[in-house]
């Protein structure tokens, strides 16, 4: 059992937790909590740490305990686990997982792709929520500009509630160039915009579709706006001028889901 906060493995976990650059260099991310451990693909798990405080809970859950026997695990004291954890009230289980790898070509090869393109989304909670909602709505991929928050930030990973293991994604250094490639493949691009010509539910998203979602404060850049095949309007009552980026993305993704379900 690890009982010292100065242990090399503990120091490494803390470094990965706090530094995006270090995580990217190692090609890993941290998944904390029993739900994320259950959903993490076994072939992607590199290390597992279990607090001595939750050994009985882990042993009482057959699915968790059997998986632990297959992945292996290392016990740490409760005090040390608190140091490793990114949460105030940790659940006592943390795993180091290899980052999945996807390519834009893979995302474009899906039948009638439904893509969400994110420009400079800064809030980890928003990013995680968009990924989680995207899975629920049947999105086939998420494309993020280089200024978008780190998908593998521990807060983002928690917000995805496991969708980070299942939704294909890519980061694009040049988002405008990437959107042009998306359009060249026959996929229609749409953006929610204050200058939208019609309400979002008046457009058809049954064929290949990509939704362009902009920064929480500044919205979509002029360059990406110009690449949209259609500008959509989300109707709002009262004095509301705009919606949270994750809420706007959810409305569009689920409208596409509704339309495609009707076709089936």
Kindly report the pTM of this predicted structure.
0.93
pLDDT (average), residues 24-44? 97
Would you place residue 82 in the very low, low, confident or very high pLDDT band (cuts 50, 70, 90)? very high
Say if residue 35 is in the same domain as residue 87: yes
Tell me how far apart the alpha carbons of residues 95 and 58 are, in angstroms, rounded to a whole number.
14
- Identify the CATH number of the domain in which residue 210 sits: 3.40.1280.10
Burial of residue 235 (number of CB atoms within 10 Å: 0-12, 13-18, 19+) = exposed
Residue 2 lies in a domain: no
Would you place residue 262 in the very low, low, confident or very high pLDDT band (cuts 50, 70, 90)? confident
Say if residue 93 is in the same domain as residue 126: no
pLDDT (average), residues 77-89? 95
Per the structure, the complete domain to which residue 57 belongs is given by: 8-98
Please, which residues have CB within 8 angstroms of residue 230's CB and are 6 or more apart in sequence? Answer: 188, 189, 190, 191, 197, 203
CA-nearest of 169, 168, 170, 165 to 43 is: 165
pLDDT (average), residues 87-110? 96
Say if residue 62 is in the same domain as residue 129: no
Residue 211 lies in a domain: yes
| Number of domain units in the chain | 2
Residue 60 lies in a domain: yes
218 or 49: whose pLDDT is higher? 49
- Identify the CATH number of the domain in which residue 89 sits: 3.30.1330.30
Sign of CA dihedral 206, 161, 179, 184: negative
Q: Please provide the average confidence, as pLDDT, over all residues in the chain.
A: 95
Among 65, 98, 131, the domain boundary falls at 98
Residue 17 lies in a domain: yes
Q: With left for phi above 0 and alpha for psi between -120 and 50, is residue 148 left, alpha or beta?
A: beta
Say if residue 147 is in the same domain as residue 241: yes
Say if residue 81 is in the same domain as residue 160: no
- Cβ atoms 189, 225 nearer than 8 A: no
Residue 1 lies in a domain: no
Among 73, 98, 123, the domain boundary falls at 98
Among 29, 63, 98, the domain boundary falls at 98
Say if residue 113 is in the same domain as residue 91: no
Say if residue 118 is in the same domain as residue 246: yes
Say if residue 142 is in the same domain as residue 190: yes
Say if residue 179 is in the same domain as residue 257: yes
Residue 84 lies in a domain: yes
What distance lies between CA 190 and its chain's CA centroid? 21
Residue 3 lies in a domain: no
Say if residue 48 is in the same domain as residue 144: no
Say if residue 149 is in the same domain as residue 18: no
Residue 48 lies in a domain: yes
Say if residue 113 is in the same domain as residue 36: no
Tell me how far apart the alpha carbons of residues 208 and 100 are, in angstroms, rounded to a whole number.
24
Residue 86 has pLDDT above 70, yes or no: yes
The pLDDT assigned to 7 comes to 97
The pLDDT assigned to 249 comes to 96
């Amino acid at each position: 059992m690890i009982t010292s906060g100065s242990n090399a493995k503990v120091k490494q976990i803390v470094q990965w937790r706090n530094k995006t650059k270090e995580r990217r260099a190692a090609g890993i991310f941290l998944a904390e909590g029993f739900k994320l451990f259950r959903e993490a693909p076994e072939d992607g798990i590199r290390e597992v740490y279990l607090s001595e405080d939750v050994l009985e809970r882990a042993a009482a859950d057959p699915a968790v305990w059997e998986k632990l026997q297959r992945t292996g695990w290392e016990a740490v004291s409760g005090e040390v686990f608190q140091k490793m954890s990114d949460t105030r009230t940790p659940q006592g289980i943390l795993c180091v997982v290899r980052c999945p790898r996807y390519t834009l070509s893979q995302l474009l090869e899906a039948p009638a792709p439904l893509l969400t393109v994110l420009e400079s989304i800064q809030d980890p909670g928003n990013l995680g929520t968009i990924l989680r909602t995207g899975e629920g709505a049947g999105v086939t991929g998420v494309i993020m500009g280089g200024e978008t928050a780190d998908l593998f930030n521990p807060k983002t990973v928690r917000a995805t509630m496991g969708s980070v293991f299942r939704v294909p994604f890519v980061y694009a250094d040049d988002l405008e160039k990437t959107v042009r490639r998306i359009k060249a493949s026959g996929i229609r691009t749409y953006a929610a915009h204050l200058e939208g010509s019609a309400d979002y539910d008046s457009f058809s998203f049954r064929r290949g579709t990509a939704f362009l979602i902009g920064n929480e404060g500044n919205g979509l850049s002029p360059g990406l706006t110009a690449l949209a095949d259609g500008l959509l309007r989300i109707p709002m009552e009262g004095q509301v001028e705009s919606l949270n980026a994750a809420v706007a993305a959810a409305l569009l993704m689920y409208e596409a889901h509704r339309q495609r379900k009707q076709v089936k």
